[in-house]
């Protein structure tokens, strides 16, 4: 399929074209940049929600319950799983996939998992690109599931509109430490598996931890108890999400976040294209490899080696 008809078919919301385009993103094909550029004016309509939490928190079950909720409202739902432990990924356990079977066969739902490594351009960029593709293809709700540990995951979290952090009662101290790390990035909290003992204790703990975070502005992140496996608390969760979107738009925070997202994307493009041009134009591949050998044998260092290349460019 040529780029023009691929673009047209994505805008028409065709799944096959969408799948092809995502494969191009994953393979980091050069033509994908042109495709994304052409689709870019048609983005900006989707509601993009990040769902973050440790393995075992029931993120995928919660995402599935949310997807079913949106489907009842007649919305089209895109799910991107950026988590090697997600049932939506290839490495999933069969039982989990069977529990999601209704979603896999629903024409209004598109599910895709992203490998969490091997992207030269960065996982956040690839995820961002896939979000744009789903956005341009007319999906109303895009749910991005991520494990939330690691800097790259945090960057993924920066690319969504609302960050939901999923916790469970009675997790160990190890998890407490993770929680502390992602606490300040959470716009709202779901205490999932809330039928387990200790749910209220976890709510209290989160409330206390929240009071230590200063940078929330006028928005106080709500904490919602859910039992995703029985679809309990999903409406309350959606209400909180709707309220957060209202806050984002009225406070100007949405524009601020979108602007930040644009900044990251332009800078990523600049760095990538710079490297592509540099080697071959400013310095030949052989000379670059020689430079590398010099550093390897301690006759030069990475800092001065980079400087020597940059000196040749007229900025």
Candidates 2, 74, 93, 286: give the one binding a copy of itself (CB under 8 A): 93
Q: Which residues of 38-74 are buried (b: 16+ CB within 10 A; e: fewer)?
A: bbeeeeeebbbbbbbbbeebbbbbbbbbbbbbbbeee
- Contact between 287 and a copy of itself by CB under 8 A: the answer reads no
- Contact between 266 and a copy of itself by CB under 8 A: the answer reads yes
Judged by CB under 8 A, the stretch of 23-31, 69-77, 203-211, 260-268 that binds a copy of itself is 260-268
- Contact between 262 and a copy of itself by CB under 8 A: the answer reads yes
Question: Are 170 and 202 a contacting pair, CB within 8 Å?
Answer: yes
Cα(265)–Cα(268) distance, integer angstroms: 5
Candidates 84, 108, 138, 222: give the one binding a copy of itself (CB under 8 A): 84
Q: Which of residues 41-60 bind a copy of itself (CB under 8 A)?
A: 41, 43-44, 54-56
Choice between 71 and 99, CB closer to a copy of itself: 99
List the one residue out of 196, 223, 197 whose CA is nearest residue 209. Answer: 223
Q: Give the orientation angle of helix 234-251 with respect to helix 59-72, to 10 degrees.
A: 80
Question: Are 113 and 90 a contacting pair, CB within 8 Å?
Answer: yes
Cα(134)–Cα(77) distance, integer angstroms: 9
Q: Which of residues 190-229 bind a copy of itself (CB under 8 A)?
A: none
- Reported as type and span, the H/E element at residue 188 is strand 188-191
Question: Are 36 and 132 a contacting pair, CB within 8 Å?
Answer: yes
Q: How far is the CB of 107 from a copy of itself (least distance, A)?
A: 28
Q: How far is the CB of 157 from a copy of itself (least distance, A)?
A: 10
Q: How far is the CB of 36 from a copy of itself (least distance, A)?
A: 6
- Contact between 98 and a copy of itself by CB under 8 A: the answer reads no
- Contact between 170 and a copy of itself by CB under 8 A: the answer reads no
Site string for a copy of itself, 108-127 (x = CB under 8 A): --------xx-x--xx----
Choice between 107 and 303, CB closer to a copy of itself: 303
């Amino acid at each position: 399929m040529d780029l023009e008809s691929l673009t047209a078919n994505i805008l028409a919301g065709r799944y096959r074209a969408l799948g092809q385009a995502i494969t191009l993103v994953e393979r980091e094909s050069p033509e994908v940049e042109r495709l994304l550029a052409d689709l870019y004016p048609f983005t900006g309509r989707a509601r993009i929600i990040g769902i973050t939490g440790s393995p075992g928190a029931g993120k995928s079950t919660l995402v599935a319950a949310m997807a079913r909720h949106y489907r009842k409202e007649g919305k089209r739902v895109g799910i991107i799983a950026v988590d090697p432990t997600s049932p939506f990924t290839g490495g999933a356990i069969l039982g989990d996939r069977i529990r999601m079977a209704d979603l896999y066969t629903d024409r209004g739902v598109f599910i895709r998992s992203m490998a969490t490594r091997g992207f030269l351009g960065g996982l956040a960029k690839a995820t961002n690109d896939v979000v744009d593709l789903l956005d341009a293809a007319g999906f109303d709700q895009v749910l991005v599931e991520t494990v939330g540990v690691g800097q790259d995951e945090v960057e993924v979290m920066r690319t969504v509109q609302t960050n939901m952090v999923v916790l469970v009662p009675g997790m160990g101290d190890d998890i407490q430490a993770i929680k502390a790390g992602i606490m300040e990035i959470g716009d709202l909290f779901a205490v999932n598996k809330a039928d387990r003992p200790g749910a209220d204790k976890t709510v209290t703990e989160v409330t206390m931890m929240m009071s230590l975070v200063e940078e929330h502005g006028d928005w106080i992140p709500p904490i919602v108890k859910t039992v995703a496996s029985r679809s309990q608390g999903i409406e309350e969760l959606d209400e909180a999400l709707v309220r957060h979107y209202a806050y984002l738009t009225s406070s100007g925070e949405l524009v601020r976040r979108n602007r930040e997202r644009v900044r990251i994307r332009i800078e990523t493009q600049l760095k990538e294209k710079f490297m592509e041009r540099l080697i071959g134009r400013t310095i030949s591949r052989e000379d670059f490899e020689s430079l590398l050998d010099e550093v390897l044998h301690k006759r030069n260092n990475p800092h001065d080696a980079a400087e020597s290349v940059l000196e040749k460019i007229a900025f």
